[in-house]
Protein backbone atom coordinates (compact mmCIF):
# COMPACT_ATOMS: atom_id res chain seq x y z
CA UNK A 1 0.00 0.00 0.00
CA UNK A 2 2.84 2.38 0.91
CA UNK A 3 4.58 1.76 -2.41
CA UNK A 4 1.31 2.40 -4.26
CA UNK A 5 0.77 5.74 -2.46
CA UNK A 6 4.33 6.79 -3.31
CA UNK A 7 3.72 6.06 -6.99
CA UNK A 8 0.40 7.96 -6.99
CA UNK A 9 2.02 10.94 -5.26
CA UNK A 10 4.91 11.27 -7.67
CA UNK A 11 2.83 10.60 -10.76
CA UNK A 12 0.40 13.35 -9.69
CA UNK A 13 3.27 15.83 -9.28
CA UNK A 14 4.82 14.80 -12.58
CA UNK A 15 1.53 15.15 -14.46
CA UNK A 16 1.22 18.72 -13.16
CA UNK A 17 4.81 19.56 -14.09
CA UNK A 18 4.36 17.90 -17.45
CA UNK A 19 1.44 20.17 -18.38
CA UNK A 20 3.33 23.21 -17.06
CA UNK A 21 6.61 22.74 -18.84
CA UNK A 22 6.73 19.96 -21.43
CA UNK A 23 6.81 21.63 -24.81
CA UNK A 24 8.66 20.02 -27.68
CA UNK A 25 8.99 23.22 -29.67
CA UNK A 26 12.43 24.77 -29.97
CA UNK A 27 12.99 27.13 -27.05
CA UNK A 28 15.94 28.98 -25.65
CA UNK A 29 17.24 27.70 -22.32
CA UNK A 30 19.69 30.58 -21.99
CA UNK A 31 20.44 33.57 -24.18
CA UNK A 32 21.23 32.33 -27.71
CA UNK A 33 24.30 34.55 -27.69
CA UNK A 34 25.65 32.57 -24.74
CA UNK A 35 25.09 28.98 -25.95
CA UNK A 36 26.51 27.72 -29.21
CA UNK A 37 24.53 24.85 -30.71
CA UNK A 38 26.22 21.49 -31.02
CA UNK A 39 25.76 18.25 -32.90
CA UNK A 40 25.15 16.55 -29.55
CA UNK A 41 22.17 18.79 -28.85
CA UNK A 42 20.71 18.10 -32.28
CA UNK A 43 21.32 14.34 -31.92
CA UNK A 44 19.54 14.30 -28.58
CA UNK A 45 16.48 16.00 -30.03
CA UNK A 46 16.37 13.62 -33.00
CA UNK A 47 16.66 10.58 -30.72
CA UNK A 48 14.05 12.01 -28.37
CA UNK A 49 11.53 12.51 -31.16
CA UNK A 50 12.22 9.14 -32.82
CA UNK A 51 12.38 6.91 -29.75
CA UNK A 52 9.35 4.64 -29.54
CA UNK A 53 11.00 1.71 -27.76
CA UNK A 54 10.10 1.35 -24.10
CA UNK A 55 10.16 -1.62 -21.77
CA UNK A 56 6.78 -3.01 -20.82
CA UNK A 57 7.66 -2.51 -17.17
CA UNK A 58 10.30 -0.71 -15.09
CA UNK A 59 11.01 -1.75 -11.53
CA UNK A 60 13.18 0.77 -9.68
CA UNK A 61 14.70 -0.52 -6.46
CA UNK A 62 16.35 2.14 -4.31
CA UNK A 63 18.54 1.53 -1.29
CA UNK A 64 17.43 3.09 1.97
CA UNK A 65 20.97 4.47 2.29
CA UNK A 66 20.50 6.83 -0.69
CA UNK A 67 19.70 10.43 0.19
CA UNK A 68 15.94 11.08 -0.04
CA UNK A 69 16.46 14.27 -2.09
CA UNK A 70 18.39 12.25 -4.66
CA UNK A 71 15.67 9.60 -4.79
CA UNK A 72 12.97 12.25 -5.19
CA UNK A 73 14.79 13.98 -8.07
CA UNK A 74 15.56 10.63 -9.72
CA UNK A 75 11.88 9.63 -9.56
CA UNK A 76 10.77 12.97 -11.01
CA UNK A 77 13.17 12.49 -13.92
CA UNK A 78 11.81 9.01 -14.63
CA UNK A 79 8.25 10.25 -14.46
CA UNK A 80 9.04 13.11 -16.82
CA UNK A 81 10.19 10.48 -19.29
CA UNK A 82 7.06 8.45 -18.54
CA UNK A 83 4.78 11.35 -19.57
CA UNK A 84 6.85 12.33 -22.61
CA UNK A 85 4.57 10.72 -25.22
CA UNK A 86 1.65 8.35 -25.63
CA UNK A 87 3.80 5.28 -26.24
CA UNK A 88 5.84 5.70 -23.05
CA UNK A 89 2.74 5.93 -20.85
CA UNK A 90 1.87 2.35 -21.78
CA UNK A 91 4.79 1.16 -19.62
CA UNK A 92 4.37 0.08 -16.01
CA UNK A 93 6.53 2.02 -13.55
CA UNK A 94 7.17 0.82 -9.97
CA UNK A 95 9.38 2.13 -7.15
CA UNK A 96 10.46 -0.22 -4.35
CA UNK A 97 12.74 0.56 -1.40
CA UNK A 98 15.01 -2.12 0.06
CA UNK A 99 17.48 -2.69 2.88
CA UNK A 100 21.13 -3.28 1.88
CA UNK A 101 21.08 -6.40 4.06
CA UNK A 102 18.32 -7.93 1.96
CA UNK A 103 18.85 -11.11 -0.02
CA UNK A 104 19.41 -10.80 -3.80
CA UNK A 105 16.02 -12.40 -4.35
CA UNK A 106 14.53 -9.02 -3.33
CA UNK A 107 14.97 -7.97 -6.96
CA UNK A 108 12.21 -9.94 -8.62
CA UNK A 109 10.49 -8.27 -11.52
CA UNK A 110 9.69 -8.68 -15.18
CA UNK A 111 10.99 -6.16 -17.69
CA UNK A 112 13.82 -3.79 -16.81
CA UNK A 113 15.06 -3.61 -13.20
CA UNK A 114 17.26 -0.74 -12.00
CA UNK A 115 18.86 -0.81 -8.55
CA UNK A 116 19.87 2.62 -7.22
CA UNK A 117 22.60 2.35 -4.57
CA UNK A 118 24.62 4.97 -2.72
CA UNK A 119 28.02 4.14 -4.23
CA UNK A 120 30.29 1.30 -5.36
CA UNK A 121 30.83 0.26 -1.73
CA UNK A 122 27.21 -0.87 -1.57
CA UNK A 123 27.02 -4.27 0.14
CA UNK A 124 24.02 -5.20 -1.98
CA UNK A 125 25.87 -4.40 -5.21
CA UNK A 126 28.96 -6.40 -4.22
CA UNK A 127 26.78 -9.31 -3.15
CA UNK A 128 24.36 -9.37 -6.09
CA UNK A 129 26.07 -7.90 -9.17
CA UNK A 130 26.76 -11.36 -10.63
CA UNK A 131 23.63 -13.07 -9.35
CA UNK A 132 20.89 -11.03 -11.01
CA UNK A 133 19.53 -11.36 -14.53
CA UNK A 134 20.90 -9.44 -17.50
CA UNK A 135 17.86 -7.16 -17.32
CA UNK A 136 18.94 -5.91 -13.88
CA UNK A 137 21.46 -3.08 -13.66
CA UNK A 138 22.87 -0.95 -10.83
CA UNK A 139 23.69 2.74 -10.76
CA UNK A 140 24.49 5.59 -8.39
CA UNK A 141 24.47 9.38 -8.56
CA UNK A 142 27.65 9.50 -6.48
CA UNK A 143 29.85 7.50 -8.86
CA UNK A 144 31.51 8.92 -11.97
CA UNK A 145 33.36 7.41 -14.88
CA UNK A 146 37.02 8.27 -14.65
CA UNK A 147 37.77 11.43 -16.59
CA UNK A 148 41.35 11.93 -17.64
CA UNK A 149 42.73 15.15 -19.11
CA UNK A 150 45.45 14.42 -21.65
CA UNK A 151 46.98 17.85 -21.04
CA UNK A 152 48.17 17.11 -17.47
CA UNK A 153 51.95 17.49 -17.25
CA UNK A 154 54.66 19.00 -15.05
CA UNK A 155 53.33 22.49 -15.81
CA UNK A 156 49.85 21.70 -14.51
CA UNK A 157 48.40 22.80 -11.18
CA UNK A 158 45.40 21.14 -9.52
CA UNK A 159 43.33 23.33 -7.21
CA UNK A 160 41.41 20.97 -4.94
CA UNK A 161 38.42 21.87 -2.79
CA UNK A 162 36.80 20.30 0.24
CA UNK A 163 35.67 16.65 0.07
CA UNK A 164 37.58 15.94 -3.16
CA UNK A 165 39.82 12.98 -3.82
CA UNK A 166 43.46 13.76 -4.56
CA UNK A 167 44.26 13.35 -8.25
CA UNK A 168 47.58 12.23 -9.67
CA UNK A 169 48.98 15.73 -10.13
CA UNK A 170 52.52 16.67 -9.17
CA UNK A 171 51.42 20.17 -8.13
CA UNK A 172 48.38 20.47 -5.88
CA UNK A 173 46.98 23.55 -4.15
CA UNK A 174 44.44 22.53 -1.50
CA UNK A 175 41.87 25.10 -0.40
CA UNK A 176 40.02 22.89 2.06
CA UNK A 177 40.60 24.99 5.16
CA UNK A 178 41.16 28.43 3.69
CA UNK A 179 38.65 31.27 3.48
CA UNK A 180 40.97 33.69 1.66
CA UNK A 181 41.27 32.13 -1.79
CA UNK A 182 42.81 35.26 -3.33
CA UNK A 183 45.81 35.32 -1.00
CA UNK A 184 46.33 31.55 -1.15
CA UNK A 185 46.47 31.65 -4.95
CA UNK A 186 48.65 34.81 -4.89
CA UNK A 187 51.08 33.08 -2.54
CA UNK A 188 51.30 30.00 -4.75
CA UNK A 189 52.05 32.05 -7.86
CA UNK A 190 54.50 34.20 -5.84
CA UNK A 191 52.56 37.36 -6.65
CA UNK A 192 52.59 38.46 -3.00
CA UNK A 193 56.36 37.94 -2.90
CA UNK A 194 56.77 40.22 -5.92
CA UNK A 195 54.57 42.88 -4.33
CA UNK A 196 56.50 42.69 -1.04
CA UNK A 197 59.79 43.28 -2.85
CA UNK A 198 58.42 46.42 -4.47
CA UNK A 199 57.12 47.73 -1.14
CA UNK A 200 60.55 47.21 0.40
CA UNK A 201 62.22 48.98 -2.53
CA UNK A 202 59.82 51.92 -2.23
CA UNK A 203 60.62 52.25 1.47
CA UNK A 204 64.36 52.34 0.72
CA UNK A 205 64.23 54.73 -2.23
CA UNK A 206 61.34 56.82 -0.88
CA UNK A 207 60.02 57.08 -4.42
CA UNK A 208 57.01 55.90 -6.35
CA UNK A 209 57.78 52.92 -8.55
CA UNK A 210 55.60 51.76 -11.42
CA UNK A 211 55.28 48.03 -11.30
CA UNK A 212 53.31 45.07 -12.56
CA UNK A 213 53.42 42.00 -10.27
CA UNK A 214 55.40 39.13 -11.73
CA UNK A 215 54.19 35.60 -11.28
CA UNK A 216 55.79 32.23 -11.73
CA UNK A 217 55.81 31.06 -15.33
CA UNK A 218 56.07 27.31 -14.79
CA UNK A 219 52.28 26.77 -14.69
CA UNK A 220 50.34 26.90 -17.96
CA UNK A 221 47.24 24.86 -16.97
CA UNK A 222 45.07 25.11 -13.88
CA UNK A 223 42.70 22.22 -13.12
CA UNK A 224 39.86 22.76 -10.66
CA UNK A 225 38.30 19.89 -8.71
CA UNK A 226 35.92 21.51 -6.23
CA UNK A 227 32.25 22.03 -5.47
CA UNK A 228 30.29 24.60 -7.55
CA UNK A 229 30.22 26.95 -4.54
CA UNK A 230 34.00 26.72 -4.23
CA UNK A 231 34.59 27.05 -7.97
CA UNK A 232 32.55 30.25 -8.23
CA UNK A 233 35.06 31.72 -5.72
CA UNK A 234 38.20 30.09 -7.15
CA UNK A 235 37.78 31.41 -10.70
CA UNK A 236 37.31 35.08 -9.65
CA UNK A 237 40.30 34.66 -7.30
CA UNK A 238 42.42 33.52 -10.26
CA UNK A 239 41.22 36.50 -12.33
CA UNK A 240 41.75 38.87 -9.37
CA UNK A 241 45.40 37.89 -9.36
CA UNK A 242 45.65 38.72 -13.09
CA UNK A 243 46.34 35.12 -14.09
CA UNK A 244 45.07 35.12 -17.65
CA UNK A 245 47.78 33.21 -19.51
CA UNK A 246 47.01 29.80 -17.93
CA UNK A 247 44.25 27.57 -19.29
CA UNK A 248 41.54 26.70 -16.75
CA UNK A 249 39.93 23.25 -16.88
CA UNK A 250 37.26 21.87 -14.53
CA UNK A 251 36.53 18.32 -13.40
CA UNK A 252 32.94 17.01 -13.35
CA UNK A 253 30.63 18.49 -10.68
CA UNK A 254 32.95 21.49 -10.26
CA UNK A 255 30.87 24.06 -12.09
CA UNK A 256 27.13 24.26 -12.64
CA UNK A 257 27.00 25.59 -16.19
CA UNK A 258 23.21 25.88 -15.92
CA UNK A 259 23.54 28.40 -13.10
CA UNK A 260 27.17 29.35 -12.55
CA UNK A 261 26.51 32.86 -11.14
CA UNK A 262 29.67 33.93 -12.97
CA UNK A 263 29.75 36.30 -15.91
CA UNK A 264 30.75 35.22 -19.40
CA UNK A 265 33.91 37.33 -19.10
CA UNK A 266 34.90 35.50 -15.89
CA UNK A 267 34.25 32.13 -17.53
CA UNK A 268 36.12 33.04 -20.73
CA UNK A 269 38.72 30.44 -21.81
CA UNK A 270 37.44 27.76 -19.42
CA UNK A 271 36.76 24.19 -20.47
CA UNK A 272 36.12 20.86 -18.84
CA UNK A 273 33.55 18.11 -18.36
CA UNK A 274 30.11 18.69 -16.92
CA UNK A 275 26.54 17.49 -16.77
CA UNK A 276 23.61 17.74 -17.21
CA UNK A 277 24.13 18.91 -20.78
CA UNK A 278 22.84 22.26 -22.00
CA UNK A 279 20.17 21.99 -24.67
CA UNK A 280 19.70 25.42 -26.20
CA UNK A 281 17.31 24.06 -28.82
CA UNK A 282 15.02 22.24 -26.43
CA UNK A 283 13.74 23.29 -23.03
CA UNK A 284 11.65 20.63 -21.34
CA UNK A 285 13.01 21.07 -17.83
CA UNK A 286 13.29 24.80 -17.10
CA UNK A 287 10.48 25.01 -14.54
CA UNK A 288 11.96 22.19 -12.47
CA UNK A 289 15.68 21.72 -13.11
CA UNK A 290 16.84 25.29 -12.46
CA UNK A 291 15.51 25.04 -8.92
CA UNK A 292 17.68 22.00 -8.10
CA UNK A 293 21.24 21.85 -6.85
CA UNK A 294 23.84 20.13 -9.03
CA UNK A 295 23.44 16.66 -7.46
CA UNK A 296 19.65 16.87 -7.81
CA UNK A 297 19.97 17.97 -11.45
CA UNK A 298 22.17 14.97 -12.15
CA UNK A 299 19.70 12.66 -10.38
CA UNK A 300 16.76 14.11 -12.35
CA UNK A 301 18.63 13.74 -15.65
CA UNK A 302 19.74 10.19 -14.80
CA UNK A 303 16.16 9.20 -14.05
CA UNK A 304 14.96 10.70 -17.32
CA UNK A 305 17.67 8.99 -19.39
CA UNK A 306 17.24 5.60 -17.73
CA UNK A 307 13.52 5.59 -18.38
CA UNK A 308 13.45 7.18 -21.80
CA UNK A 309 16.45 5.29 -23.21
CA UNK A 310 16.04 2.28 -20.92
CA UNK A 311 15.79 -0.21 -23.78
CA UNK A 312 19.17 0.90 -25.16
CA UNK A 313 20.73 0.89 -21.70
CA UNK A 314 19.39 -2.61 -20.99
CA UNK A 315 20.97 -3.77 -24.27
CA UNK A 316 24.33 -2.33 -23.12
CA UNK A 317 24.35 0.33 -25.82
CA UNK A 318 26.50 3.42 -25.24
CA UNK A 319 26.05 5.00 -28.67
CA UNK A 320 23.25 7.38 -27.86
CA UNK A 321 23.12 10.89 -26.40
CA UNK A 322 21.38 11.34 -23.06
CA UNK A 323 21.05 14.30 -20.74
CA UNK A 324 24.16 13.14 -18.89
CA UNK A 325 26.23 12.56 -22.02
CA UNK A 326 27.34 9.06 -22.98
CA UNK A 327 26.83 5.84 -21.03
CA UNK A 328 29.19 3.11 -19.99
CA UNK A 329 28.30 -0.22 -18.33
CA UNK A 330 30.86 -2.26 -16.40
CA UNK A 331 30.08 -5.23 -14.16
CA UNK A 332 26.34 -4.49 -14.36
CA UNK A 333 26.89 -0.90 -13.20
CA UNK A 334 25.77 2.13 -15.25
CA UNK A 335 28.30 4.99 -15.34
CA UNK A 336 27.46 8.43 -16.68
CA UNK A 337 30.14 10.00 -18.88
CA UNK A 338 29.77 13.80 -18.84
CA UNK A 339 30.01 15.92 -21.94
CA UNK A 340 32.95 18.19 -22.65
CA UNK A 341 32.27 21.92 -22.79
CA UNK A 342 34.29 25.04 -23.55
CA UNK A 343 33.60 28.72 -22.97
CA UNK A 344 35.01 31.69 -24.85
CA UNK A 345 33.92 35.25 -25.61
CA UNK A 346 31.31 33.89 -28.05
CA UNK A 347 29.56 31.72 -25.45
CA UNK A 348 29.25 28.13 -24.20
CA UNK A 349 29.90 25.25 -26.58
CA UNK A 350 29.11 21.64 -25.70
CA UNK A 351 30.38 18.48 -27.27
Tens of pLDDT, residues 74-101: 999 999 889 888 888 889 999 999 999 9
Integer Cα distance of 116 and 290 in angstroms: 23
Q: Do residue 166 and residue 246 come from a single domain?
A: yes
Our measurement of the distance from residue 230's CA atom to the centroid of its chain's CA atoms, rounded to an integer in Å, reads: 15
Q: Do residue 63 and residue 128 come from a single domain?
A: yes
Classify residue 79: in a domain, yes or no: yes
Domain assignment of residue 103, given as a range:
2-146+277-341
Q: Do residue 60 and residue 160 come from a single domain?
A: no
Looking at residue 62, its pLDDT comes to 95
Looking at residue 310, its pLDDT comes to 84
Tens of pLDDT, residues 242-263: 777 888 999 998 988 777 677 7
Hey, how many other C-beta atoms are within 10 angstroms of the C-beta on 233?
A: 16
Classify residue 272: in a domain, yes or no: no
Kindly indicate the confidence band of residue 163, based on its pLDDT and cuts at 50, 70 and 90.
confident
Q: Count Cβ atoms within 10 A of the Cβ of residue 193 and give its class: 0-12 exposed, 13-18 middle, 19 or more buried.
A: middle
Q: How many residues does the chain have?
A: 351
What backbone torsions phi and psi does residue 296 show, to the nearest 5 degrees? -70, -35
Q: Do residue 11 and residue 83 come from a single domain?
A: yes
Tens of pLDDT, residues 261-296: 777 778 888 999 888 877 765 566 666 777 788 899
Kindly indicate the confidence band of residue 209, based on its pLDDT and cuts at 50, 70 and 90.
very low
Kindly indicate the confidence band of residue 8, based on its pLDDT and cuts at 50, 70 and 90.
very low
- What is the total count of domains within the chain? 2
* 318: pLDDT strictly greater than 70: no
Most confident by average pLDDT, 5-9, 251-255, 299-303: 299-303
Amino acid sequence: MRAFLIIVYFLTISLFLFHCSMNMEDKVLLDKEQIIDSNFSQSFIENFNKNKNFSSSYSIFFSEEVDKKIISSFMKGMEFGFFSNQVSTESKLSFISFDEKSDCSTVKAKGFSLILVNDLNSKFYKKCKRRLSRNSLFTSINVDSEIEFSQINEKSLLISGKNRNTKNNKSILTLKNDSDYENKIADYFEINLSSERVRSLRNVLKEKISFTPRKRKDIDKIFIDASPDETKRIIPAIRYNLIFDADILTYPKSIDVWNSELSLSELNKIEGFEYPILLNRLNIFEKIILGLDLQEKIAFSAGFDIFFFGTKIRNRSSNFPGLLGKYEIKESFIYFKPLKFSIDSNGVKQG
